């Protein structure tokens, strides 16, 4: 036990030494609903993240004082509420997996105002996305449960999407801020428009709940209460292709969606931890459960 403590102290001191010039991060971001024993709909999201600040205020020659680059390898898994059935007539949500590589470049004038541009490229498919393998391996070997059937799923296809975002925040009091993140995504996988609004309070500067921010790093804790509103023109994970009829399901998606969110971020540099509770509306009309809870937990290390 003493050896473990010494190792932790040494690792923390090493992090403090390297943080002096910290402009990079690595992290793991996990969405899951098993904390609520539900295991349905958007049931799992795993994202390995890396990013760096390539330009900061001291060396900027134009108004976008901070420029950062962000890379993500992500996987999303959708399942129906009755994972044991092989009958498509009893599935209230499609089986689908989405495995992708994402890149974004973000430009900030100050820690409370900026925009971003990026793309995603990846594949769907139960096997090709590794969704069936990872989910059933976890169910059988970790949870000691029966594997899900994955009897019918959204077909495999390769996809590319482009996206853009706009970020801003405005102080209401010295520690209370109104924050907003608007985004659009266009491509073969998703065509969607979102706005995320809420109240942020606490001691961390900038917009820490909107991505992995590198513009103003400091120790502290901040809280968020808000909602994400979405209008979805097309979602391959729910309806298949919009160019051809390849969807085995006859489910009807909701175009208007919302997610209520409450959470906090704690930073003790070089570490950052984030926990966010999400309650989403129904993405499919007449799905068995009208809402869905899942928890987002992330841990990042600044280099």
**How confident is the model over 224-281, as pLDDT tens digits?**
999 999 999 999 999 999 888 899 999 999 999 999 999 999 999 999 999 999 999 9
- Per-residue pLDDT of 193-219, as tens digits, reads 999 999 999 999 999 999 999 998 999
Q: Phi and psi dihedrals of 288, rounded to 5? A: -65, -30
pLDDT at 114: 97
Question: Count of residues for the chain?
Answer: 303
Q: Phi and psi dihedrals of 111, rounded to 5? A: -60, -10
Kind plus residue range of the DSSP H or E element containing 77: strand 66-79
Q: Which CATH number fits domain 27-302: 2.60.40.10, 1.20.120.550, 1.20.140.10, 2.40.128.140?
A: 2.40.128.140
pLDDT at 6 over 50: no
Using a 10 angstrom Cβ sphere, with 0-12 exposed, 13-18 middle and 19 or more buried, the burial of residue 296 is middle
What is the C-alpha to C-alpha distance for residues 288 and 229, in angstroms, rounded to an integer? 22
pLDDT at 30 over 80: yes
pLDDT at 98: 99
pLDDT at 18 over 80: no
pLDDT at 11: 43
| Domain edges within the chain | 27-302
Tell me the C-alpha to C-alpha distance, in Å, between residue 269 and each of 47, 192, 200, 213. 21, 35, 20, 13
Contact 188, 237 (CB under 8 A): no
């Amino acid at each position: 036990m003493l050896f473990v403590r010494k190792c932790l102290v040494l690792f923390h001191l090493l992090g403090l030494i390297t943080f002096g010039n910290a402009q990079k991060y690595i992290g793991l971001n996990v969405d899951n609903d098993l904390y609520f024993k539900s295991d349905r709909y958007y049931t799992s999201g795993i994202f390995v993240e890396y990013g760096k600040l390539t330009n900061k205020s001291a060396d900027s020659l134009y108004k976008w004082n901070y420029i950062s680059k962000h890379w993500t390898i992500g996987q999303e898994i959708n399942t129906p509420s009755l994972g044991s059935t092989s009958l498509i007539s009893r599935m209230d949500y499609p089986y689908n997996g989405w495995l992708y590589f994402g890149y974004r470049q973000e430009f900030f004038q100050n820690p409370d105002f900026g925009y971003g541009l990026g793309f995603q490229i990846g594949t769907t498919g139960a096997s090709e996305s590794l969704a069936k393998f990872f989910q059933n391996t976890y169910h059988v070997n970790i949870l000691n449960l029966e594997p899900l059937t994955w009897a019918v799923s959204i077909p495999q296809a390769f996809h590319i999407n482009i996206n853009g975002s706009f970020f801003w925040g405005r102080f209401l009091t010295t520690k209370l801020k109104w924050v907003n993140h608007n985004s659009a995504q266009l491509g073969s996988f998703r065509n969607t428009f979102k706005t995320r609004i809420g109240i942020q309070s606490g001691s961390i500067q900038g917009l820490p709940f909107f991505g992995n921010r590198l513009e103003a790093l400091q120790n502290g804790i901040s809280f968020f209460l808000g909602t994400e509103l979405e209008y979805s023109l097309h979602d391959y994970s729910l309806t298949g292709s919009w160019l051809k009829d390849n969807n085995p399901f006859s489910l009807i998606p909701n175009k208007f969606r919302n997610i209520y969110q409450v959470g906090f971020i704690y930073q003790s540099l070089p570490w950052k931890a984030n926990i966010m509770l999400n309650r989403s509306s129904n993405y499919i009309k007449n799905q068995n459960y009208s809402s869905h809870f899942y928890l987002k937990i992330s841990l990042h290390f600044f280099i």
